[in-house]
Amino acid sequence: MSQITLLTGPERRRRWPEEVRDRILAAAFAPGAIVLDVARQFDVASSLIYKWRQQALAEKGGVGFAPAVVMDEPRGVSGSLPMAVITVDLAGGGRVSIGSAASAALITATLSALR
């Protein structure tokens, strides 16, 4: 038999402690996890999970723009014409240089793998 939760009184919304929210978010966005399955497991709407994630990213400043730096000297292979290069400095301290000859698929795959 299925379970029914009856909410009575003036307040009909459930309040989720921050620790529980963090645990649900970690479970929902773990590699290979399906948000809908996690929502069913914790008996919460999947839209609420996405809302919590959006709020958490806004609090941490997780989404934004990176400044672009233009260098005077283009880098290239020694002895040849300079090649246009995009250098991406990663948050962990790593650096990736992408040449102008790289395909869009290669660039996308590289940056996705480093994410």
Which residue would you say has higher pLDDT here, 10 or 6? 6
In which band, very low, low, confident or very high, does the pLDDT at 10 lie, cut at 50, 70 and 90? low
pLDDT per residue as tens digits for the range 34-81: 999 999 999 999 999 999 988 888 887 655 666 666 666 655 555 555
Of 65, 28, 68, 61, the closest CA to residue 44 belongs to 28
Q: Is residue 3 part of a domain?
A: no
Q: Are residues 74 and 50 in the same domain?
A: no
Say whether pLDDT at 92 is over 80. no
Provide the whole-model pTM.
Answer: 0.46
Q: Are residues 36 and 74 in the same domain?
A: no
Predicted pLDDT at 3: 82
Listed in sequence order, the residues at least 6 apart from 43 whose beta carbon sits closer than 8 Å to its beta carbon are: 5
Q: Report, as an integer, the average pLDDT of 84-89.
A: 78
Q: Is residue 105 part of a domain?
A: yes
Say whether pLDDT at 114 is over 80. no
Calpha distance 115→97 (Å, rounded): 15
Q: Are residues 72 and 52 in the same domain?
A: no
Q: Is residue 24 part of a domain?
A: yes
Number of domains within the chain? 2
Q: Are residues 85 and 108 in the same domain?
A: yes
